[in-house]
Amino acid sequence: MERRKFSAEFKAKVVLEALRERETIETLAKRYELHPNQISAWKKEAAANLKQLFERGNNGASAVDDNSEKLYAQIGQLKVENDWLKKKLL
């Protein structure tokens, strides 16, 4: 018997419904044909990774800053080369 594989979208949908607590985990398990323990495991995993989600936002900002610095350096280098070529033509 082959294991079923679930997409990240499907897992997120089920976890969000479980977090809303409008229905019991057992009801959700029946609707999505899952074992209640699977939904609980996904819910625990989501809760454990929420902190990292917000930390990535800060790291993402520094990554953008690094890329900006590299681009400004490249623009500066191209400007120097362009000025040098202009002098050579005159």
Q: Quick one: CA dihedral 27, 31, 36, 40, positive or negative?
A: negative
Residue 78 CA to residue 24 CA, distance in Å, equals: 62
Using pLDDT thresholds of 50, 70 and 90, give the confidence band for residue 32.
very high
Query: Residue 3 falls within a domain, yes or no?
Result: no
Structure-block tokens of residue 6: 């679930």
Query: Residue 13 falls within a domain, yes or no?
Result: yes
pTM over 0.75: no
Query: Residue 2 falls within a domain, yes or no?
Result: no
Residue 56 CA to residue 50 CA, distance in Å, equals: 10
Mean pLDDT of the chain: 84
More confident residue, 72 or 30: 30
Is 40 within 8 Å of 25 (Cβ atoms)?
yes
Residue 48 is part of which domain span? 8-89
Number of domain units in the chain: 1
More confident residue, 80 or 55: 80
Query: Cβ–Cβ contacts within 10 Å for residue 32, how many?
Result: 14
The backbone torsions φ and ψ at residue 58, rounded to the nearest 5 degrees and listed phi first, read -70, -40
